[in-house]
Amino acid sequence: MSERLLITGGAGFIGHHVINSLLRDTSYDIIILDRLDTSGNLNRVHEVLEQDSSWPQRVKFIWHDLKAPINEILCKQIGKVDYILHLAAGSHVDRSIEYPMEFVMDNVVGTTNLLDFARTFTRDTLRLLLYFSTDEVFGPAPEGVKYKEWDRYNSGNPYSASKAAAEEICLAYCNTYKLPIVITHTMNVFGTRQHPEKFIPLIIKKVRDGETVTIHSNSEKTQAGSRFYINTEDVTSAIKFLIKNHTIGEKYNIVGEKEVDNLQLAQIIADIMGKELKYEMVDFHSSRPGHDLRYALCGEKMENLGWTPEKDLRSRLEEVIVWTLKNERWM
């Protein structure tokens, strides 16, 4: 009998790539738990399942909003699972600043409801619950600093605070109820079928159309914000690695190949597309609360375990650009 994996937020941008990779590279049967809000889109899953006629038989979709507990009826629908990947979350920083309680409900209460469901399994049954967190729990990173897994929290907005709170709830359930939990942090994931308002698909569209790209910068408009961008294929590679190589109760940073500022990123994209980059530096950081100029994670822990991104940033950008220009419906 195949092992069974439950993924929350499976119709989301990152979630559907994880499903694609697991169907392609493992024998897992997959249960998707999703409420299909603005982030969830079943068209993503549909396009994944179209690739192989055997894949739909291995996937089951269940609608549920985790703000409500997983009751007995849902438990029966889900059935026994060997692994849980908790990717579902409210993640829009601007919206969290305007409606912070929504993010407490989605990310703290929702995670707790999932953990209570996980308690219905024995340790012999449930092998792993992976909580997918964010670099933003550490707050802005000063120049030269890369945060390690157990560094202190310094949340800059209600979204990141709710993710940090959920991390602590996860650790409490691990310590109290001995649930087999690990936590990951990653940052600025990009890939195919990403929401068109996100930075990289927006750059692709604006460069294609000869429009001006807005680059968020410091107050002097001399330094662009920077990140460690990482492709969905590398994120899913890291998740599959951790399913087999992890220590219960630990945290792991999933980090892109290198740090790049947003102006450099836009220039790389324009260069790949063979187009001129038109851009404007804008002091977004100072005028908008809760937005930080630089985030940075240290990837040494995963590297020492034997995992690094499979391809360099430019190669991954080339793949995404080619796919996006051929599939304009997602722009």
Claim to verify: residue 102 and residue 200 sit in the same structural domain: no
- Strand ranges in the chain using DSSP code E only, listed in sequence order: 4-8, 29-34, 59-63, 83-86, 128-134, 181-186, 189-190, 213-216, 226-227, 230-231, 251-254, 260-261, 279-282
CA atoms within 13 A on the CB side of 174: 20
Claim to verify: residue 42 and residue 142 sit in the same structural domain: yes
Cα separation, 218 vs 233, in Å, equals 31
Reported as a pLDDT band with limits 50, 70 and 90, residue 45 is: very high
Q: Alpha-carbon torsion 182, 185, 191, 192, what sign?
A: positive
Does some domain include residue 201? Answer: yes
Mean pLDDT of 14-24: 98
Cα separation, 314 vs 195, in Å, equals 20
Claim to verify: residue 85 and residue 222 sit in the same structural domain: no
pLDDT computed for residue 292 by the predictor: 73
Claim to verify: residue 156 and residue 218 sit in the same structural domain: no
Catalytic residue among 34, 106, 136, 257: 136
Reported as a pLDDT band with limits 50, 70 and 90, residue 219 is: confident
pLDDT computed for residue 210 by the predictor: 96
**Using one digit for the tens of pLDDT, what is the confidence trace for 259-310?**
999 999 999 999 999 999 999 988 755 555 656 788 999 999 999 999 999 9
Catalytic residue among 159, 229, 252, 279: 159
Please give the single-letter amino acid code of residue 57.
Answer: Q
Cα separation, 35 vs 3, in Å, equals 24
Structural domain including 218 reads 192-227+259-292+311-330
Clarify whether 136 is annotated catalytic: yes
Catalytic residue among 135, 151, 167, 234: 135
CA 165 remoteness from chain centre: 17
Q: Into how many domains does the chain fold? A: 2
Assess contact for 65 and 107: CB atoms under 8 A.
Answer: no
Clarify whether 159 is annotated catalytic: yes
| Residue in 16, 1, 8, 3 with CA at minimum distance from that of residue 195 | 16
Claim to verify: residue 116 and residue 232 sit in the same structural domain: yes
How many C-beta atoms surround the C-beta of residue 38 within 10 A?
9
Residue 327 has pLDDT above 60, yes or no: yes
Claim to verify: residue 218 and residue 171 sit in the same structural domain: no
DSSP element (H, E) containing 319: helix 313-326
